[in-house]
Structures are given as C-alpha cells and as structure tokens.
Amino acid sequence: MAKLESNHTPPPTMSPTISKPCYPPQSPNNNSGGFNLMVILAAIVCAFLCALGLNTMLQCTLQCASRVLTEPLQWIASRGINSGLKKKEMVALPTSIYNRSSPSSGSASCAICLADFSDGDKIRFLPKCNHRFHVACIDKWLLSHSSCPTCRNFLKSNDSSHPFHILIA
C-alpha cells in the first residue's frame, strides 16, 4: 500500500484567475449582430453624406472657375459703359429753372434726394428718358454712373467704337 500512496500525488492547483478567463456569460438573447449592423449602416450613411458634400463642392468649384474665366470681360465691358460721364458731357446735358406754374411732364420731386422741386431750383433733364433731377444731385451721380438713376437707361451711346462692344452683344 505504501506504493500506492507514494505514486498518487495530487495535481498541482491552479489559480482561478489564470485558468479561467473572465467573459460575460453568453446568453441566447445577446444582440451583438444587431449592433454591428447598426454601426455598418451608420458608416454607410456617413460615407454617402460625405460623397454628396464633396460632389456639391466640386460642382460649385467648377462653376466658379468657369465664371472667373468668362465674366471678367463682361464685367469690364459693362463697367466701361456705366463708368460715368466726363465733365464736358455732363455740362452739355440740358438744364432749366423749375417753375411750378409751367406745365411739364414728370414728377415734382428729385428721385435722388427725394426733395420736392421748388420754384427757382436748377433742374437737369436726361435726354433719352426726360427724367429730371436737381443739378447738384444728378451731377454727382453722373460722375460715377452713365445711366439714369430712375430707369437705368444709358446716356452714353452704345456704338461699336467701344472696345468690348462685341462681347456684350
């Protein structure tokens, strides 16, 4: 018997923390597959929104680039036409003295300063549209604009001598 006792040695004991990993128990109702599906769907939606945003930015960039190439000439041309009158052209426009009793067409107020004309005021008529304004008001306007402030008709002639006339047409 002594032989049996000596051959029988107890197995070495293992620490519970080393031998068994600590995982939460798996239950049949664990929804980890549903969570993964939600993460994948959220990533797809984010990728779609990013692609849509990049597409919009690209379209805007291309439109702006095409404007930069085509519009400067048009802007220069329109700016040249509406750049204002020279002093001698402005002084050549007809003027008169306002008289309330004389029959005349048009309003009885200046569309620039919005004040009513009074007897004795110097007023200037624009030849193409016959709008009238105080001389001081319209002269200040015409130094930087070549159009009527009321109807925007150009006072300068639109002839082909303008270098950008072909671009506007």
Amino acid identity for residue 67 in this structure: R
For residue 40, pLDDT over 70 is answered with yes
User: What is the mean predicted confidence (pLDDT) over 91-104?
Assistant: 80
pLDDT the model gives residue 19: 55
Radius of gyration of the chain (CA): 44
User: What is the mean predicted confidence (pLDDT) over 106-113?
Assistant: 81
pLDDT the model gives residue 54: 95
Confidence class for position 79, pLDDT limits 50, 70, 90: low
Q: Up-side HSE of residue 159: CA atoms within 13 Å toward CB?
A: 3
**Which range, 6-10, 45-49, 84-88, 127-131, has the best average confidence (pLDDT)?**
45-49
The residue that leads in pLDDT, 39 or 28, is: 39
Q: How far apart are CA 75 and CA 160, in angstroms?
A: 17
Closest CA to 117 of 92, 102, 94: 102
For residue 169, pLDDT over 50 is answered with no
Tens-place pLDDT, residues 17-31: 555 555 555 555 556
For residue 160, pLDDT over 50 is answered with no
Confidence class for position 162, pLDDT limits 50, 70, 90: very low
For residue 58, pLDDT over 90 is answered with yes
Q: What are the two backbone dihedrals, phi and then psi, of residue 87, each rounded to the nearest 5 degrees? A: -55, -40
Sequence-separated (6 or more) residues with CB below 8 Å from residue 124 = 93, 94, 95, 132, 133, 134, 135, 138, 139
For residue 1, pLDDT over 80 is answered with no
Confidence class for position 72, pLDDT limits 50, 70, 90: low
Proportion of the chain above pLDDT 90, given as a percent: 15
